Amino acid sequence: MLSATIDRYAYGSLAPRDDRMVTIESVDFKTTTEMSLDEEILCDGSLDLIKAAVRRFGREGTDGYDLVLRSSAPPGSGLGSSSTMMVALTGLLARHYGTALDEYQTAELAHAIERQDLRITGGMQDQYAATFGGFNFIEFTDRVIVNPLRVRDEIMHELELSLLLCFTGITRDSARVIEDQTQRAVAQADETLAGLRVQKELAVAMKAALLTGQLHEFGVLLGEAWAQKKRMSPLISNGQIDELYDVALSHGALGGKVTGAGGGGYILLFCDFTRKHRVMEALEFAGAHVTEFAFDIKGLTIWSV
């Protein structure tokens, strides 16, 4: 899998207390809660992502603390906001509990809390991308191997100026889309398996195009990856997504794909810089929210004050 991190962040702060209470404020969900470390921590449907992380690190060997968490990427956007928040939270709690974790251990633990403790359906690419940061080619076999890519500055800047994010106006529960894909893969549906195979080949071709600066080819391959992704499940796209994608192509975009599992969120589009403004204007006229972004090569960053 080919991944890159952008300037959309999950933020968290942890302030130690001198009692056994843990308070949690989620700025994104405008929700607060508190719990005692002297009582069992129950996941009851409110801020379970955070509670599960606190429960995983345990109630022994610490006093309480105040957590404040927020994200610059909205939940359900397909930008990996939930997994990135879990990575940030894992890093915060590891620092507080004095648990030394390297990047692989951090990503693995964040993944385990989401997928095993909370049984949220999904992959593991978001946790590794957020933890390591930058451009990476990630291999998933019997273990995960993150291969950092040395993308030249001029290529990164040109790519940055050639890409844009178009919000479809739809936030969605990625688990439903992923569950449908998984069921089709287990049943060995021909279209699903074919789509998976071709996407693996395209990831290698896109890596080569990126490293050699063949960015127009990269944009075309991005569109081909979207065509193959749609073969995996009918839930990945819909009329609204298809309409916005067609508007972008008809005004100069070379290719693009929906971020994340699909079904909503953002469409990542590649455009020649000289035509990018026309694509943006057309999408905004169609009622979409369009934004640019910058790459960020840093992953999980923690500091104390």
Please name the amino acid found at residue 169. Answer: G
Q: Which residues pair with 289 in a beta bridge?
A: 167
The number of CA neighbours under 13 Å toward the Cβ of 118 is 28
Distance of CA 84 to the CA centre of its chain: 7
Give the alpha-carbon dihedral of 184, 189, 195, 200, to 10 degrees.
Answer: 80
3-state SS assignment for residue 10:
strand
**What span, in angstroms and rounded, lies between the C-alpha atoms of 265 and 294?**
18
Burial class (CB in 10 A: 0-12, 13-18, 19+), 271: buried
Single out the catalytic residue among 126, 142, 153, 296: 126
Q: Write out the two tokens for 286.
A: 């169609």
**What span, in angstroms and rounded, lies between the C-alpha atoms of 187 and 233?**
13
Backbone region of residue 302 per phi and psi (left: phi > 0; alpha: psi in -120 to 50; beta: other values): beta
Residue 126: active-site member = yes
**What span, in angstroms and rounded, lies between the C-alpha atoms of 293 and 106?**
26
The catalytic site residues sit at 126
